[in-house]
Each structure stands twice: as C-alpha cells, then as structure tokens.
Structure 1
Amino acid sequence: MLRRWQTTSYQQGWRFRADWFLPEVRTVVTSFASRSTVPAPTARSLGAARARNGVSISETMTDFRSLFMAAEQSLDIDALQSLAEGWAEVAETAPPISCTDVYTGLATKAHFVRRIHELSAAGPEGSRPHALAVITLPESLESRRHGWTLLARLGETVQCQLSGTGSIAMYRSSAVHVLFPLSESNLERLMKCRTAVETVGEGVLRPSRMMFYPLSSVPSEMMPPSPFPEPL
C-alpha cells in the first residue's frame, strides 16, 4: 500500500520525491490497511508534518487523495478535512524552509525576487528576454486576505495553466506575479491563465486586471505599454 500510494502521488505531481516519506506516512498506511479509514488524529498529524516540511496545502491534499486513488476507494472527506486542519494549525507558525509558499504552492517572495536579480545580473546576452506579468485580483470582502483554501485552488490553477512555459509565479497582495520568458505562445498562455483564475472560487476572483512590464533587457517594442508596477 505504501508503495502504491507513493507511486500515485508522484504521478499526481508530487514535486520533490526525497521529501515524500515521513514517519506520519507510515502511521497513515498502517491505519488505512487495518481499518480502511484514516482516523482524524492520524490525518491531522500528517497534515501538520507536511506543513512543517514546507509542503503547500494544495500538494498536501493532492497527495492525500492519491492514497485513496491507489486503494481504489472513495475519498474520505472527513479525513481530508482533518488533514487540512492539521496543516493550517502549523502553517501560520512554521518557519519557511523552502522556496515554495505553503499557501499557494507558488514561489515565495524571496525566491521570486532572487530569480529577477539572477536574470538582471546575467545581462541581455546571458538569457532569453523575460518580462513580468501582474494579474491583480479583487480583494477579499470578508477579511484582509483570501482564505487558504481559495489560495490553494488559485495556486493549482496558475501552475496548471503555466506548466511548460518556463515561468515562475508568486502570489502577493491580492495579485499573481509571473516572471516569464517572452514569446508569443507564452503571452497567449498568460491570457488563458487569467481567464482560468477568474473561474476559481465560483467567480470571487473576477474581474481581474493583467498588466505587462518589461525587464531592463527587453526591448520596449516587444511589450505592450503599461504603467510601471508597484515594488514587490
């Protein structure tokens, strides 16, 4: 069961294979094998462990779904809820240990800015021309920020839409920032990404606004005119 779960999780998009196995994983498998269910405390412990290891909520939930897919059983919604609760309890206080934001699965601000600095240092001859796109979203009406379940779905959508483009994306201040290699096909993918983002959460992220900004190495004629973005 452990091997089938691991293989299915990899197939569903688990990022770093060396980080998958934890002691809590074996506990989950033992409970599942003996009773075909995952008790709430066990699921909660796995969620907490994933958060401590810097795994996003989206990747954590996808991995847990993979367990039931591997066993060819229907997903236990109550266990999934317990997993998410365990993750959320730790995520607010756990120190960041990776370049991935635990809420969205996208890049952290530090990693995103470092990538911009790397491209700037390389100069115009060191890499393909890159540009920055900012998809500004409506702010949450209920609180100062969007809920983590919505952010998880947002991150999943952005990653899916931009897969294979060579882009790196970050969520910050109700906006998705995308650093991408400049090409006609990538611009088309970004347009589709914006459309997909607006469908997340039954339209609560609609309407959005997308602006493009060239990096210093990009000739201005290659980019549509846009005002300069606010500092990250």
Structure 2
Amino acid sequence: MGVAQAERVLKSRWRTASLAAGWAFPGDWPLREVDDVCAAMLDTADPDEALVRLGRARAEAGAGLDETLLDLAALHAVLDGDHGMVSPNIDALPARMLRLTASGWADVLTEEANDRGAEDPLTGLATRGYLRTRLAELYRETPTPDDHYALVLVGLDLTRATGWSRVVAMTLLSDVLRVVFDGGETLATVGPSVAAVLTRRDAALGRRISNLRVLAADRLAVDPHVRPTGPAKVWSEHLPATHHDVCALIAALAR
C-alpha cells in the first residue's frame, strides 16, 4: 500500500470511529489539519505540531474540548487497534497527544479574549465582574436571596501544576460545570483556580453537587499532568445578607 493510500485509509477509519463515538456534524469533521495529522502519524516525523494545529482548528470551527478530545481518542483507538471495531476512550489517550491538542484548542480561546468582554477567555465562563452584576440584580429583586439561591464553588490545587496543565485543568472543569448545570445558571470564574455557579435552591441541588464532584474527578484523571490539580473541592456557600458582603466573599475566594 502506498503512502497516499495509507493516509486515506487512516483518515476514513478515523472518521468512521469519530462519528460512531458521537461527532455531531459529519460535514464539519474533515479539515486540512486532519490530513496533516494522518500524514504525521504514518511518517517518522514528529507529530507534535500537527496535533497542536488540529486542536486550534477544532476550536476555530466551534468544537468543544470534550468533542475535540473524543475525536482524538477515536484516532488513537484506530492507531492502537486492529481493523475491526474500535472503542474511543479519552482516558486511554497518551498524555502527550492530549496535552498538545488541548493546548492548541486553548490557545484559540486566549486569542479571542478581546471579543468576550463578559467571558473569561480561557474557560468561556462569565467573568467575576459579571457574577457581581448578576448578584446585584438578585439583591435588588429580593432582600433575602439566600432563600432562593445558592453559590456553588469548585476549586483546584493549581500549585501542583505548571504551564499548559493549569489551563487545561480549568478548561476541563468549565466543561464539567456546563454539563452538570445546563439550565441557565450563571457559571463564572472567581479566581485562577476557583469557579462558581449561581443556582436556584431546589430538591436537585444536592444531587447536582454530587454529580459535579464525581464528573470533575473523572475529567481530571485523564492526564497525569492534570491529575495533581484534583481532587476538585466542591462546596456550597450561603449568600450573605447584603450585596456588599457577597462581593467581599467573592473577593476572598478569588485569592
């Protein structure tokens, strides 16, 4: 089999595995960077740059980090398996493949910072300033917001991580928050290692906090460089009596 044919076969099997794993829009999957990665994987050349470019291209096309990594897991499963059915598994990804692709993906979000005045450029969550504004609205609406709302916090230990892994850890955490709290809650960054959810108090809140703790542990376990930032600390704070007090609380949590 010639080189060009081998690349076409790899691309076809990768696409099939990715679509079977849940890639949502088949027409968006083919990219020039996909071809570059196939060529690099079948060559003796270093595939690092091709993986970074793939991560960037996926982010620019609007793919989330989870979707991007699942697609990468499909490639790894094809490369690692025989010619039968394969089962993509993000947890089985080599740390270097995950790190390079996620780093490329995160770079795009950083570059879009100027277009996201109310959003944190790395995580896509609301900024601390937006959270304070949202809380001000609640305190104007009711004198006792704690009767109806809670502030759920989740924090990581970034002192045990460096460079790209700090970014990836918080990005993975933001994806987990969107999965668990998908009902219009305010999701925000509070500090470099802390994120917050302003959510209604209801019968499902305890279950959601438990789900957040479990899912965060699963996501952080995929890479040995990211894993030391966990386990994620998850807890709930009561809203103080005044807006001034809640802003002081947020400021303290941000340190």
C-alpha distance after superposition, 1:182-225 (max 9, x if no partner): 31112432244246657853574565543132899xxxxxxxxx
1:42 aligns with 2:50: yes
* Residue 93 (structure 1) shift: 3.8
Larger relative helix fraction: 2
* 1:181 equivalent among 200, 208, 212: 200
Within the candidate set 8, 19, 23, 1:7 is matched to 19
Report whether the alignment pairs 1:27 with 2:41: no
1:86-114 deviation per Cα after TM superposition (whole angstroms, max 9, x unaligned) = 3355554443546765644x523289649
Question: 2:3 maps to which residue?
Answer: none
Structure 1 Cα separation of the partners of residues 195 and 35 of structure 2: 40
Partners of 2:240 and 2:202 in 1: CA distance:
12
Deviation at 1:66, TM superposition (A): 4.2
User: Per the alignment, do residues 36 and 111 of structure 1 end up closer, same or farther by CA in structure 2, a change over 3 Å counting?
Assistant: farther
User: What is the aligned-residue RMSD (CA, Å)?
Assistant: 4.9
For residues 114 and 61 of structure 2, what CA distance do their matches in structure 1 show? 8
Give the number of aligned pairs: 209
Match of 1:213 among 239, 243, 247: 239
> Structure 2 length normalisation: TM-score?
0.54
Alignment correspondent of 1:87: 105
Bigger Rg over Cα: 2
Mark the CA change 1:208 to 1:3 in structure 2 (over 3 Å): closer, same or farther. closer
Given that residues 51 and 97 in structure 2 are in contact (C-alpha distance below 8 angstroms), is that contact kept between their aligned partners in structure 1?
A: yes
Partner of 2:190: 172
1:147 deviates by 0.7
Question: What's 2:126 paired with?
Answer: 108
**Where does structure 1 lack aligned partners over 5 or more consecutive residues?**
217-226
Distance in 1 of aligned mates of 2:215 and 2:172? 11
**Quick one: structure 1 residues 36 and 114, their matched pair in 2 at CA, closer, same or farther if it must change by over 3 Å?**
same
Aligned counterpart, 2:224:
none
Query: Cα gap change, 1:48/1:212 in structure 2, threshold over 3 Å: closer, same or farther?
Result: same
SS at match of 1:213: coil
Find the residue that maps to 1:230 and give its secondary structure: helix
Once the two structures are superposed, what CA deviation does each residue of 1:149-173 show, in whole Å capped at 9, x if it has no partner?
A: 322332344344x255553422321
Deviation at 1:178, TM superposition (A): 0.7
